[in-house]
Amino acid sequence: MLSKLNPPQREAAMYLDGPCLVLAGAGSGKTRVITSKIAYMVRECGMEARNIAAITFTNKAAREMEERVGKLLEGGQAKGLTVCTFHALGVRIVRQEAKLAGLKPQFSILDSSDVMQIVADVAGNKDKGVVKAVQWAISSWKNALITPDEAVKLVTDESTALAAKLYPAYEKTLRAYQAVDFDDLIALPVRLFDEHPEALERWQNRLRYLLIDEYQDTNGAQYKLLKQLAGVRGAFTAVGDDDQAIYAWRGADVKNLYALQTDYPKLKLIKLEQNYRSSNRILNAANTLIANNDKLFEKKLWSEHGMGEAIHIVAARDAEQEAEMVAMKISSHRFEHRANFADYAILYRGNHQARLFEQQLRNHKIPYVISGGQSFFDRAEIKDITSYLRLMLNADDDLAFIRSITTPRRGIGAATLEALGSYAGQRHIGLFTAAFEEGAGEHVASRQLESVREFCNFINKLEYRALREPAAQVLEDLLRAIGYEAHLFESCELREAESKWSNVRDFVEWLGKKGEADGKNLLELAQTVALISMLNKGDEATDAVQLATLHASKGLEFPHVFLVGVEEGMLPHQSSIDTDTIEEERRLMYVGVTRAQRSLTISYCERRKSGKEIRTVEPSRFIAELGDGLKHSGGKKAEPVSQEDALAKLAKLQAMFSTPPKT
């Protein structure tokens, strides 16, 4: 179990005498260390799996880790092991301790669009810029565990002043809805543990050893939660890489990495610098690039692999040509090297960049999948369905009420809801409750009120059945009753509707199976749905080029990587240039570069559309920072990349390989 580890990895896996920080460079086998350590604790040290928790930042990472631990442990050994995201752990704590947190156990979890809506409501202002600024300020305060009272003292400018003024009203609204936002999932447990030591003790007893992945991405609240749970013994291992800290914008603070040393003077520091992923050419470029950042921990990646291929830098005329070129390069490279489509990844800064590449890949008949991006549960069609579940579970959830009563349309619109809302507001009750009160008739026209009540009765009946009948059956009936399939096909293009409907089918099937497996009814399932991942039914089974944002690519690796749109203004992003946060952008570039195993192609456009005008853009400063060992091509002078030439070359190659490449 430990024999496959190198000396520092083994040391990290076996060290249990106190708090431990593993500085794990990209591709240095950190997941292997965490999973081996869990196996070591269970198999060699007699610890019970149920007393160990491994915390990750993404569901994907949690799933992967669970899978890999499963392989190292036998039969029932892994039973009760906690492998989840910080937020999922938070949900568990708040749900179990709901009473202490002043919530009912069926509280709703709001996503960012719900939150924006509430902020807009309490602000009485729909201006997106204002709403975003307020939401951001409140979120940062929550991430730093700052209460509304304290926030007032921290006002720095107009926008934070407004945020501080609205913060109490925002919190009040959440409580009225019996709802929490994402930040609450961390902040509430922390406050709860502060105020109720006996609850903290319960959880310390349950989770006696913690392993934290991607520690550089923790925010203040998460770090505090870790400190609380780990207690004075400091029973934890944190694994992280300060060079891959790319989430400062959502409250993460690399300083938490350094703070460990002062907060735990006995902290054991272990560095993993041997890379098992990339060629030395790629590692050298990555090292050279990241040396431009100020750092506290020095780290230099090396590997036993050879130098490998040169890194290609390619200039494209514009974004269309860039996408076309990448598609062609993948096509021909795949023939030449008899590789799989899945060996290629296209990485970019922003989601919207994917579109052109999708188009071109389709043109070239290259299969692709977009990983990351929106989570399954953020998709409109899934949110439509879950809003019904949320409402059944929690009649105070006005946002779920509004979404479900208006999707599909049933003749109730903004005006009716506003009228009902103003009455509910006066009475300090939820919309659902308000609809059944006599007084509502004074605000809402009787015809509209009738349809609102009809809707509420429908929900009540459904809830009654949801408690008694199998989940899948109730869901099927719900979909039929609201005519959701027809709604999709009426409101979307055929292809889009088909894909959405198939997502809904997947969702129903998954929930039904889960209900049977866990013996839970629909409402019990709905409670956990918001944070569970059901992705990856078979994405590894299909051979397809991977498209991902740089953020979503963290933790992944690919034989051949195309890093696209590497221009000033894109990477580094313009807003980061404006706010002087270039270092994080450089780390983003670093993450991209270190995803590559064998070949790396970096491309940029010479011109890019922005609005109506076409502007000339500069290649990113980061390209120059990669050092030498780069091979420039493309552009006007070097190597013509006309479509005809490339297609001719491709045709020739295809003729040479009369047999299709192995898959």
Site for DNA contains 413 (CB under 7 A): yes
Q: Which is nearer to DNA, 309 or 485 (CB)?
A: 485
Site for DNA contains 406 (CB under 7 A): yes
Active site residue 509: no
Residue 588 CB, shortest distance to DNA, in Å, is 7
Active site residue 31: yes
Q: Which range binds DNA by CB under 7 A, 67-75, 83-91, 231-239, 630-638?
A: 83-91
Residue 572 CB, shortest distance to DNA, in Å, is 9
Site for DNA contains 615 (CB under 7 A): no
Active site residue 30: yes
Q: Which is nearer to DNA, 182 or 193 (CB)?
A: 182
User: Among the options 64, 97, 114, 214, which is catalytic?
Assistant: 214
Rg, C-alpha atoms of the chain: 27
Q: Footprint of DNA on residues 106-135 (CB under 7 A)?
A: 111-113, 126, 128
Q: Which is nearer to DNA, 422 or 643 (CB)?
A: 422
Residue 646 CB, shortest distance to DNA, in Å, is 26
Q: Which is nearer to DNA, 575 or 643 (CB)?
A: 575
Determine the 3-state secondary structure of 109 from DSSP: strand
Cα 472 to chain centroid distance, Å, stands at 28
Q: How many CB atoms lie within 10 A of CB 636?
A: 8
Active site residue 85: no
User: Among the options 184, 213, 396, 463, which is catalytic?
Assistant: 213
Site for DNA contains 502 (CB under 7 A): no
Among 531, 534, 544, 547, binds DNA (CB under 7 A): 531
Site for DNA contains 403 (CB under 7 A): no
Q: Is 30 annotated as a binding-site member? A: yes
Q: Footprint of DNA on residues 373-392 (CB under 7 A)?
A: 373-375, 380
Q: Is 354 annotated as a binding-site member? A: no
Query: CA dist 229 to 81, 86, 138, 187, 201, Å?
Result: 16, 12, 25, 14, 8
Q: Which range binds DNA by CB under 7 A, 254-262, 315-323, 406-414, 537-545?
A: 406-414
Which distant-in-sequence residues (6+ apart) come within 8 Å of 643 by Cβ?
324, 328
Among 363, 422, 457, 491, binds DNA (CB under 7 A): 491
Angstrom distance (rounded) from CA 447 to CA 63: 50
Q: Is 24 annotated as a binding-site member? A: yes
Q: How many CB atoms lie within 10 A of CB 266?
A: 10
Whose CA is closest to 60, among 553, 572, 586, 527?
A: 553
Site for DNA contains 40 (CB under 7 A): no
Give the N- to C-terminal CA distance of the chain in Å, as an integer.
32
Whose CA is closest to 86, among 184, 193, 5?
A: 184
Q: Which is nearer to DNA, 119 or 472 (CB)?
A: 119
- Is residue 526 within 8 A of residue 392, CB to CB? The reply is yes
Residue 617 CB, shortest distance to DNA, in Å, is 15
**Token couple for 612:** 């109506």
DSSP conformational letter for 557: -
String of contacts with DNA for each residue 430-459, x by CB under 7 A: ------------------x-----------
CB neighbour class for 526 (10 Å; exposed up to 12, middle 13-18, buried from 19): buried
CB neighbour class for 559 (10 Å; exposed up to 12, middle 13-18, buried from 19): middle
Q: Footprint of DNA on residues 196-255 (CB under 7 A)?
A: 246, 249-250
Q: In DSSP terms, which residues pair with 632 in a beta bridge? A: 313
Active site residue 214: yes
Number of residues in contact with DNA, rule: CB under 7 A?
A: 49
Residue 271 CB, shortest distance to DNA, in Å, is 27
Active site residue 244: yes
Q: Is 27 annotated as a binding-site member? A: yes
Site for DNA contains 57 (CB under 7 A): yes
Q: Is 251 annotated as a binding-site member? A: no
Q: Which is nearer to DNA, 460 or 610 (CB)?
A: 610
User: Among the options 10, 30, 92, 587, which is catalytic?
Assistant: 30
Q: For residue 356, report the phi and psi dihedrals to the nearest 5 degrees.
A: -60, -40
Four-CA torsion 390, 391, 394, 399, nearest 10 degrees: 90
Four-CA torsion 239, 243, 245, 249, nearest 10 degrees: 170
Among 240, 372, 421, 634, binds DNA (CB under 7 A): 372
Angstrom distance (rounded) from CA 390 to CA 392: 6
Among 28, 576, 599, 620, binds DNA (CB under 7 A): 576
Site for DNA contains 362 (CB under 7 A): no
Q: Footprint of DNA on residues 342-361 (CB under 7 A)?
A: 349-352, 355
**Token couple for 442:** 């004074």
Residue 533 CB, shortest distance to DNA, in Å, is 9
Q: Is 29 annotated as a binding-site member? A: yes
DSSP conformational letter for 660: P
Query: CA dist 569 to 249, 362, 607, 636, Å?
Result: 17, 28, 12, 22
Place of tokens 């990750």: 56
Q: Dump the DSSP string for 301-332.
A: -B-SS---SPEEEEEESSHHHHHHHHHHHHHH
Q: Which is nearer to DNA, 111 or 477 (CB)?
A: 111
- Is residue 375 within 8 A of residue 533, CB to CB? The reply is yes
The backbone region for 82, taken as left when phi is positive above 0, alpha when psi lies in -120 to 50, beta otherwise, is: beta
User: Among the options 85, 160, 216, 244, which is catalytic?
Assistant: 244
Site for DNA contains 59 (CB under 7 A): yes
Query: CA dist 448 to 413, 423, 424, 442, 544, Å?
Result: 9, 14, 16, 12, 50
Q: Which range binds DNA by CB under 7 A, 269-277, 389-397, 515-523, 549-557?
A: 549-557
Residue 19 CB, shortest distance to DNA, in Å, is 24
Q: Which range binds DNA by CB under 7 A, 19-27, 228-236, 488-496, 589-597?
A: 488-496
Whose CA is closest to 312, among 638, 640, 639, 632?
A: 632
Q: How many CB atoms lie within 10 A of CB 656?
A: 9
- Is residue 618 within 8 A of residue 568, CB to CB? The reply is yes
Q: Which range binds DNA by CB under 7 A, 188-196, 226-234, 402-410, 468-476?
A: 402-410
Residue 293 CB, shortest distance to DNA, in Å, is 16
Q: Which residues bind DNA (CB under 7 A)?
A: 57-60, 85-88, 111-113, 126, 128, 182, 246, 249-250, 349-352, 355, 372-375, 380, 406, 409-416, 448, 490-491, 496, 531, 549, 551-552, 573, 575-576, 611-612
Annotated binding site for ATP: 24-31, 277
Residues with catalytic annotation? 30-31, 213-214, 244, 595
